[in-house]
Every structure is written in C-alpha cells, then in structure tokens.
Chains A and B, each alone.
Chain A
Amino acid sequence: EDQVTQSPEALRLQEGESSSLNCSYTVSGLRGLFWYRQDPGKGPEFLFTLYSAGEEKEKERLKATLTKKESFLHITAPKPEDSATYLCAVYFNKFYFGSGTKLNVKP
C-alpha cells in the first residue's frame, strides 16, 4: 500500500498560470513532510519542511501548506525555470517518497 501519493503525475502550465500540486499520505503519526525539486540528471534539492497541520511556508513563487491528510505545493505565476519534478516525502518511522509530479512550464 502506497504511503505517499502525488498528483497529478504530470502538469503542463503556461507561464504565469498558477496551479497546485498535491501530496496525500496515509501514515498516521506524521512527524514531518518534505518537498524537494529534482531537475533531470540531478539529485533532489530541498525546498520545505512542514511539521504540523495548518503550517505554511513560502519561497519565491512556491508556497507549501499542510493538512492532516495532505499537502499542497502552490505555484504562483510560474516561469519556465520552475519546470522540474517535484517530490514530497513524509517521515513516520522512516522516510517515504512519493513518485513525483513532473511540471512543465511553457513560455
């Protein structure tokens, strides 16, 4: 049974078209949720850590939010350089990674 599910698998946006990526999880007793960005052929780059429901964090055009069952990564007015795969991970007794959302932002 998947512990972490990300949707959609792929997302194509026009430059400036805001949207959200979803990360839902089934583990109970969540101790932390992490968002990473991965460019092709590179290791994931750390973006955010969220610890409790209601928490929000922002970085440039990205905003991460957390509820008791899911997290959203909101992308406001994306640019082509935001194109990447976005991974989320949850920590329960160990780290569980989702399969990622591949974002493509067209100019």
Chain B
Amino acid sequence: GAVVSQHPSWVICKSGTSVKIECRSLDFQATTMFWYRQFPKQSLMLMATSNEGSKATYEQGVEKDKFLINHASLTLSTLTVTSAHPEDSSFYICSARSGQGINEQFFGPGTRLTVL
C-alpha cells in the first residue's frame, strides 16, 4: 500500500516552455500533497504544500507564479513549471499524506527536469 506515482520520470525542454508534472496517490486518498526540489547531493527542499480543493501554501522564496500547483482531487496534484529556464533544472519529488498532522508522507519516484 501507500504508493505514489509521478509522471513523467524525466523531461527535457527548451528554455521558455512550460512543463507539467503529475503526482498521483494510487491506493489511498491524499488530503495533503507536498512538492520538493532536490539538488545533487543535497537534501529535500520543500517548495509548497497543497490541500485538496484549496490553494497551495508556498515556502518563502518560492515563486507562486512560476511554480503553479493544482490539487484538484484526493489522488492528483500537478506542478507546472512556467517559462522554464536552465536554473529550474532539478529533481522534483512529490509526496502524499492521508489525514492531517503527524501522518507519514509517502514519496513519488521523482521527476528529473532538464531545461536547455
């Protein structure tokens, strides 16, 4: 149980284009989903927290207009990187949690984004 998928697993795009990454909880309802960014040899950096049906809460320093998050259902959240630039190249990981508070998060396999 507690499986989270991400699609695509990797994507290469040209500078200035937008890229959408999907995160799905396959066998449970995720009331909360998290989006992280990870640079090589570094830990996870929380970008935003989203609850189903409401606006995402972004961490300080994360541009809301650049990283659009939609949590339209209890099993799906999307992250759209708008007008991507090479500095947006990174490993993006989502996680999902059922319930509130201290329940553990289950992570997706990650998406490698490369912007040329």
Contact = CB atoms under 8 A, between A and B. Distances in A.
Interface residues of B, number: 22
A87 B34 contact: no
Nearest to B91: A41
Interface stretch (B41-49, B60-68, B77-85): B41-49
A43 B110 contact: yes
A49 interface: yes
B107 A36 contact: yes
Nearest to B46: A95
Contacts, number: 50
Contacts of B2: 46
B104 A43 contact: no
B110 A42 contact: yes
Interface in B59-116: 91, 93, 95, 101-102, 104-110, 112
Interface stretch (A61-69, A71-79, A96-104): A96-104
Contacts of A89: 105
Contact of B108 (A43, A94, A95): A43
Nearest to A90: B102
Given A41-B110, A94-B49, A95-B34, A46 B43 contact: no
Contacts of A42: 109-110
Interface string A25-66: 000000110101000011111100101000000000000000
A99 B93 CA distance: 16
A14 to B, nearest CB: 23
Contacts of A99: 42-43
Given A41-B112, A87-B43, A98-B43, A31 B102 contact: yes
Contact of B43 (A43, A94, A97): A97
The 6 closest A-B CB pairs, nearest first, are: A43-B107, A32-B102, A99-B43, A31-B102, A44-B107, A43-B110
Interface of B: 2, 4, 6, 34, 42-44, 46, 49, 91, 93, 95, 101-102, 104-110, 112
